[in-house]
Amino acid sequence: MHGPATNWVVGVAVNDSRVRTVRSHLLACALLLVPAQALADAKEKVAALAPSGLVLVMDEKGNELVFQNADNPFVPASVTKIVTAWLAMEVLGRDYRFETRFYLDGDRVLYIRGGGDPFLISEELAQLASELVAAIGKEPLSGIVLDASYYPFDIRIPGIEDTDEAYDALNSALAVNFNTIHAVRKGKTVRSAEKQTPITPLAISQFQTRGPQGR
């Protein structure tokens, strides 16, 4: 015979690594389905799966049932994207659009002012280039000026670490392809790993100086 149903609410599930393990996910979900008396050894199981992290399970009244190092600060996991998206909707509004502006002066110098578009990628730029040529003509440009001053030059986002991982790339008001370069190397040859994305001589030289394990 089953006892009375108990409602559970997951508060936060975080650890200090970039990707939580599937086992941690399964444990957190399982904790929502068992009665209170079965949680006696849950803390030890949580500690074994996430020894330095945090799994927090709360009941519908806000009482903490299972937690691990709940008061220690950690780099948040990807669940915080929900909060970021909510804040963007509240502050910017659902109809907000990031703008990248183009200006052409009388000497045919093209000025490009970034507005923080997070999806300014090669595929979008290819379409934009065709529209730009249609608007300003095929006469050669005398220069191009890039303006990323919409964001502070030394912007640092909490949690970003000094690594070569793509997710640690610095942000910019005029970041293209998430401010990353995806390339492959064969011997001394370096080429773009994406056919739609060109690679510059500067990027090639950077790859070559990183040695065999460079990325």
**Amino acid (one-letter) located at 2:** H
pTM over 0.85: no
**What is the per-residue pLDDT across 4-36, written as a single tens digit (0 to 9) for each?**
333 333 333 333 444 344 444 444 555 555 555
**What is the per-residue pLDDT across 36-85, written as a single tens digit (0 to 9) for each?**
555 566 667 766 776 666 666 777 777 777 777 777 777 666 777 888 88
**Pick from 128, 129, 120, 127: which is nearest to 176 by CA?**
120
Q: For residue 208, what are the CA distances in angstroms to 59, 185, 191, 204? A: 55, 9, 11, 6
**What is the per-residue pLDDT across 113-158, written as a single tens digit (0 to 9) for each?**
999 998 898 888 888 999 999 999 999 999 999 999 999 887 777 7
146/93 Cα distance (integer angstroms): 28
Distance, CA of 158 to chain centre:
12
Please indicate whether residue 105 or residue 66 has the higher confidence score (pLDDT). Answer: 105
